[in-house]
Amino acid sequence: MDHGTSDQALEILLSRYEIEQRLGQLASEITKEYHGRIPHLVGILKGAWVFMADLIRHMDIELTVDFLGITSYNSGTNSSGEVRITKDLDTSIKGREVLIVEDILDTGRTLKYLQDVLSVHKPHNLRVVTLLDKRSRRIVPVKADYVGFEIADVFVVGYGLDFDQKYRQLPDIHVLRAEHSR
Ligand code: IMP
Ligand code: MG
């Protein structure tokens, strides 16, 4: 793929095959937990939709889905933790077994905000699945119930994740680095 005038370098961190394999394992962990119940998956837009679309196709149980759109006020590659809702939920989560589907946990500020906002609506329980976890970057002590991959402190794009709204369509997850030697 041609990235035009970009002065950034991409390097594969997790291939589509590794992701696919891990999703199968994650889905079976999750379906075991919710056996006989109907989880309500809330995907966080935009980063998590590719992950969620693949994950639910591994989940052989009854489930429902909804999406919550948020925008973080980011400065470059750092989240400020200030979040604005751009798309609200379509249906009530009251009494539901809610599973938040996130792309990546970094400082934890966004997830903390989401947990606070969603628990006000009194779900029966509220769990979290995140594809990626940069545990070493945590500032707010939150934790996901299910984690696809723990990764180092690098900035990643692809498979739904963006930098400046770019790279979401890449099938693999890449580390994005500014290129100095040209
Ligand atoms: P947190 O609030 O610092 O945990 O940041 C979480 C949000 O920041 C994620 O939902 C992403 O939107 C964004 N983010 C954090 N790290 C990365 C990354 O490496 N690549 C792309 N987006 C990221
Ligand atoms: Mg996100």
Find out whether the beta carbon of 47 lies less than 6 Å from any atom of ligand 1. Answer: yes
Closest CA to 149 of 4, 21, 11, 10: 21
pLDDT of residue 179: 75
pLDDT 10s digits, 66-96: 999 998 766 556 666 678 899 999 999 999 9
- 72 or 126, which is more confident: 126
Q: Omega into 32 within 30° of 0, i.e. cis?
A: no
Say whether 172 is catalytic: no
Ligand nearest to the CA of 79: 1
Give me the mean pLDDT over the 126-141 stretch. Answer: 97
Ligand 1 centroid vs 39 CA: distance in angstroms? 25
Which atom of ligand 1 lies closest to the CA of 110?
A: 2
Instruction: From the candidates 2, 54, 66, 106, give the one annotated as an active-site residue.
Output: 106
Does the pLDDT of residue 4 top 60, yes or no? no
